[in-house]
Amino acid sequence: MSREAWIGLLGNADPADLEAGLEGLEGGCEYARITGPETGMLMVQARADGSGSRFNLGEITVSKCILEVQGKFMGSGWVMGSDLRHAELAALFDALLQDPALHDRLMTTLIPGLEEKNGPVGSVF
């Protein structure tokens, strides 16, 4: 699974599932916040008939967070809506999935459950 795919999956996951995954890590996980979590707006664009000229459809609320784990791994989390904790958890698991010591374990414990509930997703937006 690519990083883009797991970022999308984490952004669409139920935050309760991510909290449960965090509880499954021994000793917890310390991290430093780089950005946020914070909420903002994004402009959504569409195309007439799916192939015509782009036009601005409207704005959506998004929350983002960027953090660093172990001084080595940068995690990024983007979620639709204003759930700051969800954005923080998505960023944390993005960073943890980049850690070779945890990657395989999370890919066999956390990710299959998220895919079962949400289906495989390529990106949040």
d(CA 40, CA 42) in angstroms, rounded, equals 7
Nearest Cα residue to 98 out of 118, 62, 69? 69
pTM of the complete model: 0.87
Beginning with the edge strand found earlier in the chain, give each strand of the sheet holding 54-69 in spatial order: 31-47, 54-69, 73-80
Instruction: Give the model confidence (pLDDT) of 8-25 as tens digits.
Output: 999 999 999 999 998 888
Q: Quote the pLDDT of residue 121.
A: 58
Q: Quote the pLDDT of residue 19.
A: 93
Q: Which of 27-31, 54-58, 83-87, 101-105 has the lowest mean pLDDT?
A: 27-31
What are the extents of the domains in the chain?
3-118
Instruction: Give the model confidence (pLDDT) of 54-79 as tens digits.
Output: 999 999 999 999 999 989 999 999 99
The secondary element (H helix, E strand) that includes residue 96 is helix 84-98
